[in-house]
Amino acid sequence: MPEMPEVETVRRTLIPLVKGKTIAKINIWYPKIIVNDPAEFIKKLTNKTILKIDRYGKYLLFRFNGDLTMVSHLRMEGKYHLVSPNTPKGKHEHVEFIFTDGTALRYDDVRKFGRMHLVETGTERKTTGIRHLGPEPNTAEFNLTYFINALSRKKKNIKNTLLDQTIVCGLGNIYVDEVLWKSKIHPLSSAQAIPADKVKNLYQNINHTIAIATKERGTTVHTYLDANGQIGGYQKMLQVYGHAGEECSKCGTILEKIKVNGRGTTFCPHCQVLYK
């Protein structure tokens, strides 16, 4: 699933492609992707212009004139790309926004899990999945005091806690494995049992890792591409994710992979301490 650095990269690469363009026609080939009534979705967005694209967590927010916002979640494998006029439809393309200049923005999703929800601008934090999200890394809301208090209330393991989007949004399997390794914390550690100094270190590693991964334009380990069809660069910097069975770069111990709440989780059994 694209995590915060990947979604932010998609946002940044989409803006120069579609900002200021007006929708002339919309084709919906897989209606379940649209949360609204598809006919109403088409009616409201036809002749509307994309003013800007924002993001919160893993959600893209397409802002249109007329106080409309399309909230888009890519889920596992969703992708946007711009095509020239009369480009043949791809097998996994499910929604198409044709602009007045003849170009079209298409949404491609092999698994069809992505969703688009059209709402009145300003209501997205009340009417969509965004309402359940906690703060993002590298924001004033995500401060150390908040993070310490959040973990102190959680008996569940730290891996599952960091994946909980109501606590901190934007993290997924890749970056959680990485920050836990950097912080020397075993993924099965009880969140509330982690010492204060280790929580501070974890907090710093979350912010730093997300910032660097965003600078590197995200991580491509499977199918992630930005709006220009380019892969990310952070996969070259991964230390544990995807490296099970290899030596830990810190101590040389073989990295192990286990399941944590159904998620594949790679860690170093020597470096990462289990706090109970």
User: Would you kindly state where each structural domain of the chain is located, as residue ranges?
Assistant: 4-130, 144-267
Q: Report the share of the chain in percent with pLDDT over 90.
A: 97
Q: Of residues 55, 184, 263, 269, which has the active-site annotation?
A: 263
Asked if 243 and 156 touch (Cβ cutoff 8 Å), the reply is: no
Q: What CATH number was assigned to the domain covering residues 4-130?
A: 3.20.190.10
Asked, colleague to colleague, whether 4-130 and 144-267 share their fold, the answer is no
Task: State the binding site.
Answer: 92, 111, 154
130 pLDDT band, cuts 50/70/90, is very high
* Local confidence band at 222 (pLDDT 50, 70, 90 cut-offs): confident
Band of pLDDT at residue 216, cut at 50, 70 and 90 = very high
d(CA 60, CA 121): 13
Q: Which residues are annotated as a binding site for DNA?
A: 92, 111, 154
Residue written as token pair 């919160």: 56
Q: What is the mean pLDDT of residues 102-126?
A: 97
* Mean pLDDT, rounded, for 222-228: 94
C-alpha angle with apex 270: 267 to 276, nearest 5 degrees?
Answer: 80
pLDDT at 193 over 90: yes
Q: Please identify which of the residues 3, 6, 93, 124 carries the catalytic annotation.
A: 3
Catalytic status, residue 263: yes
Compute the mean pLDDT over every residue in the chain, rounded to the nearest whole number.
97
pLDDT at 44: 99
Among the listed residues 2, 135, 137, 187, the single catalytic one is 2
Banded pLDDT at 147 (limits 50, 70, 90): very high
Q: Do residues 11 and 50 lie in contact, with contact meaning Cβ atoms separated by under 8 Å?
A: no
User: Quick one: which of 41, 72, 78 has its CA closest to 55?
Assistant: 72
Q: Do 123 and 56 touch, CB atoms closer than 8 A? A: no
Q: What residue has token string 């916002």? A: 69
Partners of 71 in the β-ladder:
61, 117
Phi, psi for 93 (deg, rounded to 5): -90, 125
Instruction: Tell me, yes or no, if 63 is annotated catalytic.
Output: no
pLDDT at res. 121? 98
What is the band of 189 on the pLDDT scale with cuts at 50, 70, 90? very high
Of 2.40.110.10, 1.10.8.50, 3.40.50.1000, 3.40.50.970, the CATH number of 144-267 is 1.10.8.50
Over residues 39-94, the pLDDT tens digits come to 999 999 999 999 999 999 999 999 999 999 999 999 999 999 999 988 999 999 99
Told to judge if 58 belongs to the known catalytic residues of this protein, a careful annotator would answer: yes
Pick the catalytic residue from 11, 58, 159, 182. Answer: 58
CB neighbours (10 Å) of residue 198? 17
* Residue 1's pLDDT band (cuts 50, 70, 90): confident
